[in-house]
Homo-oligomer: A and B are copies of this chain.
Amino acid sequence: MMLTQVGRGTPMGELFRRFWLPAIASADIEEIDGAPVRLRILGEDLIAFRDSNNQVGLVNAWCPHRRANLFFGRNEEAGLRCVYHGWKFDVTGRCVDLPSEPATSNFKNKVKIASYPTVEKGGLVWTYMGPPELQPEFPHYEWAEVPEKHRVINSSLVECNWLQTLEGDIDTAHVSFLHRPLETGKALKWARFVENFGDYVAKDKAPTLTVKETDYGFVYGGRRVGGEDDYYWRFSHWLVPSTSETPGSVERPGRIVVPIDDQHTTSFAFVWHPHRPLSAEEAIANDRTLHQPLRPFQLPDGYIIDTRRSALNKDNDFNIDRKVQKTKRFSGIYGTPPEEDRAMTETMEPVLDRSKEHLGTSDIAIIAMRRRLLRLAKDLQKGIEPPLASKPEAFRTRGFDVVSTHEDFNTAVEECASEIMPPRPAGDAAAADVAAV
């Protein structure tokens, strides 16, 4: 319960409010003075707009005058103007025009709309929703610092609590089941891992997991037995509060889950290559929803947000095909992995009752993450700020997989250290000049 709720004032809600979180993909709010976008983040209804100066504003959805919804507002001349009585606000929340009062009135200077700072980085618009005086430096995510063509981004709606989504993202064990093709010789098209990845995963379904706590969260390794002497190692990261980076020996995938409210989540997915642009095929491989626009979606309380809901969803049982399930795919779902993942997490209870679980040794990463989050949230309740906030360089990580002769986790990690936690090139200060709006 404490782990799942994210509203203002809840322990986890406050922890989330200590970190930079993606609000929307830059591509989804591209047009200067274009249509405002409705978001709900951590239970707060917000309007995003790109102003005449190419700054993205993120303000409370409700005009402070009579509480009209600013989604209908006019995005014009460096501000968002409410169409009810013409009040206008800039990206900082300042009221810059209040035409329904006499010209002599000082009322304008007393009115403000709540707004959050934004930063554009790595194809995403990020925001920080915590106390202004505690605003941290932007993390040095390597994937967000590479050139634009090295990376592809997308976002989609997940219709359940954020934690069960995230738990799926850091769960390496289910790869041997949920995402397994049944036809031999068929490669997993959606990701290019080490050669014979499929064979390793099919052969050893009970990987030996090791978790190593770090500044930023943890790195964990899943070891599968290969031949007589070799092991297939998958190294993944979890970064506080809700980012996962999973292996890929060519391009690297990762996801950041951001709570919409307690029962809905946005999953931001990125795929990138550290050293070169992605090929066209690599760029589209990960998600077919990539080129769809945001669309209105009505939440159960009647409020409408703009998001991207997959055509495969719980209303149509993710188009599960029982014949495909018998013969071609373990899951029977003919979608991309995120759709298989959502089929699992969205059809659990909307907020999972974890007291009824039975966790095994394959769940140690999940257990470690819950413990860490609980500790950070409880510390914050006592006034101890999460130490990570002041260490932007700690977030520089990569998922990685390798076939190795090392059986021992620490030895294997050490061997791959430069791939797993690459140092920042000398003189690279790409992130240093980011200025919050």
Contact = CB atoms under 8 A, between A and B. Distances in A.
- Among A64, A65, A68, A111, find the residue whose CB has the most chain B CB atoms closer than 10 A: A68
A11 to B, nearest CB: 23
Interface stretch (A133-141, A145-153, A313-321, A389-397): A313-321
B361 A101 contact: yes
Given A83-B331, A360-B107, A100 B205 contact: yes
Contact of A356 (B64, B304, B331): B64
Interface stretch (A69-77, A121-129, A230-238): A69-77
Contact of A360 (B74, B105, B318): B105
Contacts of A360: 65, 98, 100-101, 105, 107
Contacts of A296: 317
Contact of A347 (B71, B76, B317): B71
B101 A349 contact: no
A348 B70 CA distance: 9
B349 A67 contact: yes
- Among A83, A176, A304, A322, find the residue whose CB has the most chain B CB atoms closer than 10 A: A83
A332 interface: yes
Contacts of A35: 322
A24 to B, nearest CB: 17
B68 A344 contact: yes
Interface in A198-222: 205-206, 208
Contacts of A71: 317, 347
Interface string A273-286: 00000000000000
B84 A358 contact: no
B331 A315 contact: no
A105 B348 contact: no
Nearest to A358: B64
Contacts of A352: 66-67
For chain A, the bracket of interface size reads 35 or more
A206 B100 contact: yes
A86 B176 contact: yes
B362 A101 contact: yes
Contacts of A110: 358
A101 B86 CA distance: 63
A190 interface: no
Interface in A73-124: 74, 76, 83-86, 98-103, 105, 107, 110-111
A302 interface: yes
A140 to B, nearest CB: 33
A178 interface: yes
Given A65-B360, A100-B360, A83 B205 contact: no
30 contacts: A34-B322, A62-B356, A64-B356, A65-B358, A66-B348, A67-B356, A69-B347, A71-B317, A71-B347, A72-B320, A72-B333, A74-B330, A76-B326, A83-B178, A84-B178, A84-B344, A85-B173, A85-B177, A85-B178, A86-B177, A86-B205, A99-B205, A100-B176, A100-B206, A100-B362, A101-B361, A102-B208, A296-B317, A298-B315, A304-B314
